[in-house]
Amino acid sequence: SIFAIPIGLGSAVYLSEYASEKTRKIVKPLLEILAGIPSIVYGYFALTFITPILKNIFPSINVFNALSASIAVGIMIIPMISSLSEDAMRSVPKEIKEGAYALGSTKFEVSTKVVIPAALSSIISSFVLAISRAVGETMIVTLAAGSSPNLTLNPLEGVQTMTAFIVQVASGDVTHGGLIYKTIFAVGMLLFLLTLLMNIIARMIIKKYREEY
């Protein structure tokens, strides 16, 4: 999210306020195509492309590592943030922006002090949707981060996310009603509660900053 939100929002501002109509008609569909790429493709991309690059920067990095997976997940959710935020910015009434220009504001000032605040509720919605997608992502982290149950804050080491854990243990050999069987549902419930909590917080923020025209 730290990687994806600034880039996604920046590209949305560019498409909405700076890009020509011709450029927007080319770039916007490309972003939407990227959003439709299967996550397993991003997983192999992280493993075969991002990790070797990181290996040159951090020689001690493991083949399966959290950093590579995080970057790939960030790349995956950028189109979602960019596309939804750009739609929200373009829905801001033209009269408001023209009024700001008439007062002598620059394009950057209009973008950051008028357009973004006016579309803030929808922009936050795009952030929450993208983060929820990242939290529930399975294939990228399974392929790139590995399946080692390693509790660490070091992004250069392999880790196992909750979704990767479910993938690993949810096999046909799991005994119905057993400890592992119950653990799968416990982890799934935790994922559900995390997503629900994020949506509740987002609804509160959206309700506070919603603008109606």
The pLDDT value recorded for residue 187 is 86
Closest to 50 (Cα-Cα) out of 30, 32, 27, 75: 75
Quick check: 178 pLDDT over 80? no
Helix, strand, coil content of the chain in percent (nearest 5)? 75, 0, 25
Quick check: 190 pLDDT over 80? yes
When the pLDDT of each residue in the chain is averaged and rounded to a whole number, the result is 83
> Are residues 85 and 8 in contact, defined by beta-carbon separation less than 8 angstroms?
yes
The pLDDT value recorded for residue 212 is 59
The pLDDT value recorded for residue 90 is 86
CATH of the domain at 199: 1.10.3720.10
Split into its structural domains, the chain has a count of 1
Quick check: 77 pLDDT over 70? yes
Burial class (CB in 10 A: 0-12, 13-18, 19+), 111: buried
Mean pLDDT across 28-32: 83
The pLDDT value recorded for residue 60 is 83
The pLDDT value recorded for residue 195 is 83
Mean pLDDT across 77-85: 87
- Our measurement of the distance from residue 137's CA atom to the centroid of its chain's CA atoms, rounded to an integer in Å, reads 10
pLDDT band (50, 70, 90) for residue 135: confident
Domain range for residue 166? 4-209
Provide, rounded to the nearest whole percent, the portion of the chain with pLDDT above 90: 0
DSSP letter at 153 equals S
Q: Which residue has the higher pLDDT, 177 or 70?
A: 70
Q: Would you say the pTM of this structure is higher than 0.75?
A: yes
The pLDDT value recorded for residue 213 is 55
Mean pLDDT across 94-106: 86
